[in-house]
């Protein structure tokens, strides 16, 4: 019976047991991911109510959220600092920006104030998204490197689910839209824990790299080729995903006519079942390979997203939400481990933070384009146009080398 159960659960399990050190670092990053997910999801989860509270149209809200993400370029110096001074302190700085920026947005009086504070939050999330992957890659055991990142992705997703659970608090009219944003301030309680428990990474401590330059990463040799491919992939995928995620509640409530309770139930159900993608994607990346798992994940996210925005059938909406979530979630450990293994220690944090910012830029331009396309072409047609970029991203991923099992300390020299 036990053997039969293990065979059933095997696709969800790591290829090797976690060590004590693995469990410790995974839990620490899981806590950070939970706070990050709750904070960064508030703007999209409560979009109809925040938009109404600020007196903005759909297009204007899309423009403001897009500009806030573009302004998060301040994450790039944080990544550079992590390559020159260690991963730990920049990570803690980024967490502080998330909590302070997110909670303060609930106090904004004018729309521009909300946008500015949301930009502070997005600066933190861009830095954390890059540094969390680097910390796990440099600390977790090699055979379960991608799988360890599944827990970070799952934590961010769980935080997003919690953001949906508090959505009814924003549905009381008046100033109630502020309440979910103010709840981000509870994340302050996690900061002392992270300060005590987050270590410097094993790889960085062993190598003590001098730290590379942006010129080396952007223009020199094969590092630049890899960098620009990964940047483009994440840019295109995020442009599609950001608009799809930001307007999912708008789509179901305003276009399909579902009430808030039905919308929350569908998104939570789809997200919960689709959440299996984190662990299946992590195991596949550790066994089947980073590249192929990433390509499969992109196509699943594309199919599910197009279905969600092209049907009014309740059953198909649930299927679309589940498949889209599964593909999006499976992409996290596969692509995260892939991009961490593509660069040497002296460039790894800069590269990964830049890629995370590129994803924000992609999502920003996707949202900014909404001011022209959503109000004129409609929300569903906008999603279809952006979906072309996801197919291109999958094709570009095929150009990258497979890195499963890569020794991170063996990348110190440039490659030609």
The arithmetic mean of pLDDT across residues 43-57, rounded, is 82
Residue 248 has what pLDDT? 79
More confident call, 405 vs 331: 331
% residues pLDDT > 70 (the chain): 95
Q: What is the mean pLDDT of residues 289-314?
A: 92
The pLDDT mean for the chain works out to 87
* Domains of the chain, start order: 19-410 (1.20.1250.20)
First vs last Cα of the chain: how many Å apart? 53
Q: What is the mean pLDDT of residues 120-148?
A: 94
Flag whether pLDDT at 15 surpasses 80: yes
Lowest mean pLDDT among 183-187, 276-280, 381-385: 381-385
Query: Mean of the pLDDT values across residues 19-23?
Result: 94
What value does the mean pLDDT take over residues 39-54? 84
Q: Which residues of 304-343 are buried (b: 16+ CB within 10 A; e: fewer)?
A: bbbbbbeeeeeeebbbbbbbbbbbbbbbbbbbbbbbbbbb
Average pLDDT, stretch 62-88? 86
* pLDDT greater than 90 at residue 16: no
The arithmetic mean of pLDDT across residues 170-195, rounded, is 89
Which of 43-47, 72-76, 164-168, 368-372 has the least mean pLDDT?
Answer: 368-372
| Chain-centroid distance, C-alpha 106 | 22
In this predicted model, what pLDDT tens digit does every residue of 302-318 receive, in sequence order?
999 999 888 888 888 88
- Under the banding of pLDDT at 50, 70 and 90, the label for residue 4 is low
* pLDDT for residue 3 is more than 90: no
pLDDT attached to residue 416:
41
């Amino acid at each position: 019976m036990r053997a039969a159960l293990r065979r059933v659960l095997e696709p969800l399990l790591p290829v090797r047991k976690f060590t004590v050190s693995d469990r410790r670092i995974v839990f620490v990053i899981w806590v950070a991911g939970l706070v990050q997910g709750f904070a960064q999801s508030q703007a999209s989860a409560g979009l109809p109510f925040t938009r109404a509270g600020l007196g903005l149209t759909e297009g204007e809200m899309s423009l403001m959220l897009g500009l806030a993400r573009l302004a998060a370029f301040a994450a790039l110096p944080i990544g550079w600092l992590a390559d020159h001074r260690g991963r730990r302190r920049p990570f803690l700085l980024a967490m502080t920006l998330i909590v302070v920026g997110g909670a303060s947005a609930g106090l904004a009086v004018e729309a521009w104030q909300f946008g500015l504070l949301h930009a502070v939050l997005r600066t933190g999330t861009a830095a954390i998204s890059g540094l969390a992957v680097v910390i796990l890659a440099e600390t977790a055991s090699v055979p379960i490197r991608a799988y360890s990142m599944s827990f970070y992705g799952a934590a961010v997703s769980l935080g997003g689910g919690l953001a949906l659970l508090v959505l009814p608090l924003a549905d009381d009219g008046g100033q109630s839209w502020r309440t979910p944003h103010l709840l981000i301030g509870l994340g302050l309680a996690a900061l002392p824990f992270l300060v005590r428990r987050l270590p410097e990474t094993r790889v960085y401590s062993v190598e003590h790299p001098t730290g590379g330059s942006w010129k080396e990463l952007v223009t020199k040799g094969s590092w630049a080729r890899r960098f620009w491919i990964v940047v483009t992939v994440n840019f295109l995928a995020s442009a599609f995903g950001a608009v799809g995620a930001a307007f999912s509640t708008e789509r179901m409530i305003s276009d399909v006519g579902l009430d808030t309770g039905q919308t929350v139930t569908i998104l939570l159900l789809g997200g919960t079942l689709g959440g299996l993608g984190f662990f299946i994607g992590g195991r596949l990346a550790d066994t089947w390979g980073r590249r192929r798992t990433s390509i499969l994940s992109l196509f699943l996210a594309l199919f599910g997203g197009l279905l969600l925005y092209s049907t009014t059938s309740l059953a198909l909406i649930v299927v679309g939400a589940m498949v889209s979530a599964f593909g999006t979630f499976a992409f996290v450990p596969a692509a995260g481990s892939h991009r961490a293994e593509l660069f040497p220690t002296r460039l790894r944090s800069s590269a990964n933070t830049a890629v995370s910012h590129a994803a924000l830029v992609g999502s920003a331009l996707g949202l900014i384009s909404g001011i022209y396309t959503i109000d004129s072409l409609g929300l569903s047609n906008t999603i279809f146009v952006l979906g072309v970029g996801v197919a291109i991203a999958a094709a570009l991923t095929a150009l990258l080398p497979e890195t499963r099992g890569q020794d991170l300390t063996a990348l110190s020299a440039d490659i030609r």
